[in-house]
Amino acid sequence: MENIRNFSIIAHIDHGKSTLADRFIQLCGMVTDRQFHDQLLDSMDIERERGITIKSQAICLPYRAKNGKDYILNLVDTPGHVDFSYEVSRALASCEGALLLVDAAQGIEAQTLANLYLAMEHNLEIIPVINKIDLPSANPEGVALQIEEDLGLDADHIQLCSAKTGLGVESVLEAVVNLLPPPKGDPEKPLEALIFDAFYDPFRGTIISCRLFEGKVKAGDTILFMSNKAAYRVEEVGFFRLTREPQNELSAGQVGYIIAGIKNITDTRPGDTLTLKDRPCAKALPGFQEVKQVVFSSIYPVSTDDYETLATALEKLTLNDASLSFQKDASTALGFGFRCGFLGLLHLEVVQERLEREFDLSLILTVPSVNYHLFLKDGTMKEVDNPAHYPDPTTIDRVEEPYIKATILIPERYMGVVMTLCMERRGENTHYHYPMPGRIEFTCELPLGEIIYDFYDRLKSITQGYGSFDFDLLDYRESDLVKLDILVNGERVDALSQLVHRNNARARGLHACEKLKEEIPRQMFKIAIQAAVGGTIIGRETISALRKDVLAKCYGGDISRKRKLLEKQKAGKKRMKTVGNVEIPQSAFLAVLKSDQ
């Protein structure tokens, strides 16, 4: 165990985590130059196309240090986006140390801080690494000062490197070997292993990624899941080395995979503890904190035959992405589907894209919303999180919506714009204090429904990425809510209905109409797109008709001839309009959710 190091790379978006991981893999001789390609650990197509990491990935690197000893380095590459911060906290639970990567040109940014605090919560040893020192705009001395003053990390341990050119990468690996502690644990004790990830293989069943804290496990053992007492016989154990490499056994301190023919996906939960059935450990390891979903949206298959496939696909995805939750739902226009909870709008987009690609499904998403309490005149209370279930307004006595206490941590200079944003979103009871010089902690009570739309994206853009945002649910408060319907060609589209505050209804309705006008293709007849509250139309856009030039063949001659052709065309159009059905493309549903700012 003295020669094992478990560490992960954490940083803000685009500070070079995956590139540094690529250099480590090359330096340890895991891959030949011929087989090498960028972003080796990012296995999903979406990750490669967007150039971001979505899933944290583990790899086991053999490394011969300068002192002549052979080490096993277990590296976990993590995402930088805040929507996937749950992945980071799971990766950190399996490590003893972390490399905190900072861009030499950009300096310390919002997610650098957030991920540093996550690592500190797990009591990890942290090595600061300044990356991209080859850039013309790099300022390593200034960034080193920032790291020492703002983050309070030891300046002597700062490593300088350029992951792109490979400069200084070896000294970073030497620092990992010399500065990070080896794992603790006793191979002779009963098995204690933490599941930090899992994915489904159609041939082998569920493959579990786990970190062993105590004991050992080998093929033939019977393992037990602590949370639901399910037992399985182990078929294979091993390390991740770009491909899976089987080993005789895994012992305390190591990170690896276990295959045990687990066909029942619901048995495996990331955060659960594994032990041996005939020699169980005393208690489960502390799992991961419960994740707070912010955005709720319904997902429906375009073809009703795909409902079963969608159900299986969501089960397989939650195995791989524990921050996603779902339950059954139904709609009059769209049939059966699922109501899902997400951590943010990027998370929603990624889940939608993964379902479409990995499981070959065509989907429709509804406008995101939250849970409301409706008190009816007959004295009953009804919970509604879906605008489709909103009752007749005449039967409602009052409506209550959830409020949250938002805590926003920002640099001092952004105070004004953040206050304005909160006031726009019906914020109240605002107050602030200074936890440290130059930084403000701003608290404010906001309706949850105002946040899910695009609050987080706006906060990030107005604070240039520095604003970090956390919230706790407070209570339900009375509010003046209305149901906003969108009508296309006189037909109500229930997937686009949303519950909004009366003051925002017109603005939200006009925004939806404008977005739909851009997305819906033109037809041979005029299409009216309207926003309505009850029977009142509060906004309208019209998509003009595609017209055939019926006068093209009339060159001169009497005007009555032209008029006759136009009348004939008019009659044809009128007939077509009565049967005209408008097909709304998938992109239109997503466009309504996007803000202009």
The residue ranges of every structural domain in the chain are 4-179, 192-276, 295-365, 372-479, 482-593
Residue 22 has pLDDT above 80, yes or no: yes
If residue 591 lies in a helix (H) or strand (E), which one and from where to where?
A: helix 586-593
Predicted confidence band at 445 (pLDDT cuts at 50, 70, 90)?
confident
- For residue 472, what pLDDT is reported? 67
Mean pLDDT of the chain: 80
| Distance, CA of 400 to chain centre | 28
Contacts of 518 (CB under 8 A, 6+ apart): 591
pLDDT, position 376: 84
Q: Can 192-276 and 372-479 be said to share one CATH topology?
A: no
Binding residues for GTP: 14-19, 131-134
- pLDDT tens column, 468-518: 776 667 788 888 888 888 888 877 777 778 888 888 888 888 888 888 888
**pLDDT at 343 > cutoff 80:** no
Number of CB atoms found within 10 A of residue 341's CB: 20
Query: What letter does residue 406 receive in the DSSP assignment?
Result: E
* pLDDT score, position 573: 67
Whether the CB-CB separation of 297 and 206 falls below 8 Å is answered with no
pLDDT score recorded for residue 73: 84
Dihedral angle of Cα 258, 259, 262, 267, to the nearest 10 degrees: 10
Instruction: With beta carbons less than 8 A apart as the criterion, state whether 483 and 403 touch.
Output: no
Q: Are strands 428-436 and 439-447 parallel, antiparallel or unpaired?
A: antiparallel
Question: Could you give the 3-state DSSP secondary structure of residue 60?
Answer: strand
CA separation for the pair 10, 41 (Å, rounded): 15
Please write the tens of the pLDDT for every residue from 158-213: 888 888 888 888 888 888 888 888 888 888 888 888 888 887 888 888 888 888 88
pLDDT band at 110 (very low <50, low <70, confident <90, very high): low
User: If pLDDT is split at 50, 70 and 90, which confidence band does 268 have?
Assistant: confident
**Mean pLDDT along residues 109-118:** 77
H helix or E strand, kind and range, residue 238: strand 236-241
Q: Is the model's pLDDT at 134 over the cut of 60?
A: yes
Provide mean pLDDT across the span 389-401: 80
Strand, coil or helix: 438: coil
Consecutive H or E run containing 436: strand 428-436
> Where would I find the beta strands (DSSP E) of 229-324?
231-233, 236-241, 243-247, 249-251, 255-262, 273-276, 295-301
CB atoms within 10 A of CB 20: 25
Q: Can you read off the two tokens belonging to residue 115?
A: 């991920």
Say whether pLDDT at 279 is over 60: yes
Angle at which helices 169-179 and 17-27 pack, to 10 degrees?
Answer: 90
Q: Which of 141-150, 382-391, 414-423, 581-590 has the lowest mean pLDDT?
A: 581-590
Beta bridge partners of 14: none
**Which pLDDT does position 145 carry in this prediction?**
84
Identify the CATH number of the domain defined by range 4-179: 3.40.50.300
524: number of Cβ within 10 Å: 13
What torsion, rounded to 10 degrees, do the Cα atoms 177, 181, 184, 187 define? 10
Q: How far is CA 37 from the centre of its chain?
A: 26
For residue 209, the surrounding DSSP H or E stretch is strand 205-214
pLDDT at 596 over 70: no
Q: Nearest Cα to 191, choosing from 220, 219, 223?
A: 223
586-593 vs 505-519: helix crossing angle, rounded to 10: 150
* CATH number among 1.20.1250.20, 3.40.50.300, 2.60.40.420, 3.30.70.870, domain 295-365: 3.30.70.870
Summarize the annotated binding site as residue ranges. Answer: 14-19, 131-134
Nearest to 475 by CA among 506, 531, 429: 429
**Interval 576-593: pLDDT, tens:** 655 556 777 666 766 766
Buried b (16+ CB within 10 A) or exposed e, 200-238: beeeebbbbbbbbbbbbbebebebbbbeeebebebebbb
Q: Which of 229-243, 303-317, 357-371, 528-542 has the lowest mean pLDDT?
A: 357-371
Residue-level pLDDT at 435: 63
Structure tokens at 483: 């149901």
Which pLDDT score is estimated for 360?
Answer: 86
Neighbours of 272 (CB within 10 A): 22
**Options 2.30.30.40, 3.20.20.10, 3.30.70.2570, 3.40.47.10; CATH of 482-593:** 3.30.70.2570
Q: Buried (b) or exposed (e) across 491-500, using 16+ Cβ within 10 A?
A: eebbbbbbbb
Q: Tell me the CB-side half-sphere exposure of residue 424, using CA atoms within 13 A.
A: 13
Residue percentage of the chain with pLDDT more than 90: 0
First to last CA, the chain: 53
**Which class in CATH covers the domain with range 372-479?**
alpha beta
Say which CATH architecture domain 192-276 belongs to. Beta Barrel (2.40)
